[in-house]
């Protein structure tokens, strides 16, 4: 099968996978996430965690990952090195966060200029270190999200993305708190704010988007901005279910993201299953005191085929790469899965696909190749 593309994952949050998921987003960030991310100044710690994470992703059939790193340049470069050594393709985001009100003093950039200087040097070092490897790691412009960044840094990051023609990633309209932040502070929606700062382009990947409205989708469509759908994480922090079918109907490209550790699992198999389940909840509705006719949102449920599309072809469009398909001229990003046919089913194409999605475990994935190179496991 084609390898999977995880279009949104926070590498430094791996040790926290599954922790603190009962808290609202802002409290979870301050209690669990920022204290952990601040530890990545320590390169020994970074190495231990990142080797374990990249191995786990490969073991789950993920051949390309779009990573958020931390604010520490050396640690992010180390993540790129580890991807190279293990033969995984990474999009590596050096995180920018300089706002003094919304980031703790112990974990933020000193100023917008400091953030931009560090970024430009990160880009150049990563592009340089790529020269000796066949699988290229791509730097990604990464404003954490609108509450984390000053206007000056958003503007500067948009300019850097243009100067180096780089992909951009951030979170957009993720939760009620985050969605209302730009509205209260700037009098405009998240998407509009990012758009005005040249951060929504055909290379932009916006995570979550659970609260995007029609005007936001119009901006996404117009600019070619894509969404990383993170169904597991959205159940905890999204405050709504992302409408996959609605976005696809509006010609917005979508991929799937694990969003570790807002999501507890590094497996896109788990995320495919949850994408299907959450779409069923959206279609059926959730409040049993409401009459069935108006309880849910019609035409919302997605099929297993669509979930598989999100993890493969959709993700490939998000990262603008010829991958996600077994086809001549495409990158040889593959997972070799040994999944025994079910003796009680007819095992036609649909049965085989359903079995692969619902029943594949990491142990069933025997080998993983990235660009024809055997990825290193365990
Ligand atoms: Zn995220």
Look at residue 353 and tell me whether its pLDDT is greater than 90. yes
Predicted confidence (pLDDT) per residue in 196-236, tens digit: 999 999 999 999 999 999 999 999 999 999 999 999 999 99
Q: From the CA of 328, how far away is ligand 1's center (Å)?
A: 34
Quote the ligand 1 centre to 34 CA distance (angstroms): 13
Closest of 348, 258, 233 to residue 53, by C-alpha: 258
**pLDDT tens by residue, 301-329:** 999 999 999 999 999 999 999 999 999 99
Range of the domain at 251: 4-374
Does the pTM surpass 0.95? The reply is yes
CA of 262 to the centre of ligand 1 (A): 7
CA of 32 to the centre of ligand 1 (A): 14
For ligand 1, the distance from its centroid to the CA atom of residue 169, given in whole angstroms, is: 10
Query: Average model confidence (pLDDT) for the chain?
Result: 97
Report the domain count for the chain: 1
Q: Has residue 341 got a pLDDT over 90? A: no
CA 342 – ligand 1 centroid, Å: 37
**In CATH, what number is assigned to the domain containing residue 338?**
3.20.20.140
How far apart are the CA of 288 and the centre of ligand 1, in A?
Answer: 31
Ligand 1 centroid to Cα of residue 336, in Å, is: 29
What is the whole-number distance in angstroms between the Cα of residue 165 and the centre of ligand 1? Answer: 23
- Whole-number Å distance, alpha carbon 67 to ligand 1 midpoint, is 9
CA distance 157 to 141: 7
68: CA distance to ligand 1 center in Å? Answer: 8
Distance of CA 318 from the midpoint of ligand 1 (Å) = 16
**Cα angle, residue 31 at apex, residues 25 and 36 outer, rounded to 5°:** 105
At 253 the pLDDT is 98
Residues by chain with Cβ below 5 Å of ion ligand 1:
207, 259
Summarised one tens digit per residue, pLDDT across range 120-129 is 999 999 999 9
Q: Are 263 and 232 in contact (CB under 8 A)?
A: yes
């Amino acid at each position: 099968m084609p390898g999977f593309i995880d279009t949104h994952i926070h590498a430094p949050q791996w040790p926290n996978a599954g922790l603190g998921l009962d808290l609202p987003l802002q409290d979870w960030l301050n209690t669990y996430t920022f204290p952990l991310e601040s530890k990545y100044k320590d390169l020994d710690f970074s190495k231990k965690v990142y080797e374990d994470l990249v191995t786990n992703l490969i073991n789950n059939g993920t051949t390309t990952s779009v990573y958020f790193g931390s604010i520490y340049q050396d640690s992010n470069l180390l993540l790129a090195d580890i991807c190279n050594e293990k033969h995984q393709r990474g999009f590596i985001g050096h995180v920018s966060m300089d706002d003094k009100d919304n980031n703790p003093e112990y974990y933020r950039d000193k100023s917008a200029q400091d953030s931009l200087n560090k970024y430009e040097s990160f880009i150049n070092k990563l592009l340089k270190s790529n020269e000796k490897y066949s699988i290229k790691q791509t730097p990604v412009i990464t404003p954490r999200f609108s509450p984390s960044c000053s206007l000056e840094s958003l503007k500067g990051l948009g300019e850097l993305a243009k100067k180096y023609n780089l992909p951009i990633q951030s979170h957009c309209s993720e939760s009620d708190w985050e969605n209302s932040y730009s509205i209260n502070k700037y009098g405009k929606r998240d998407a509009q704010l990012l758009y005005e700062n040249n951060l929504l382009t055909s290379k932009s990947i916006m995570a979550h988007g659970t609260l995007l409205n029609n005007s936001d989708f119009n901006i996404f469509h117009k600019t070619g901005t894509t969404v990383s759908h993170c169904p597991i994480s959205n159940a905890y922090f999204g405050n709504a279910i992302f409408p996959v079918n609605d976005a696809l109907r509006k010609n917005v490209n979508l991929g799937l993201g694990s969003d570790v550790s807002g999501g507890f699992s590094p497996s896109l198999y788990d995320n495919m299953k949850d994408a299907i389940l959450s779409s069923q909840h959206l279609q059926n509705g959730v409040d049993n005191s409401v009459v069935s006719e108006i309880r849910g949102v019609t035409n919302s449920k997605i099929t297993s085929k669509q979930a598989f599309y999100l993890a493969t072809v959709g993700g490939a469009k998000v990262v603008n790469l010829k991958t996600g398909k077994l086809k001549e001229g495409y990158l040889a990003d593959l997972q070799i899965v040994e999944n025994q046919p079910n003796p009680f089913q007819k095992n036609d194409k649909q049965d085989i696909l359903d079995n692969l999605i619902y029943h594949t475990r990491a142990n069933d994935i025997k080998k993983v190749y990235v660009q024809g190179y055997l990825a290193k496991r365990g």
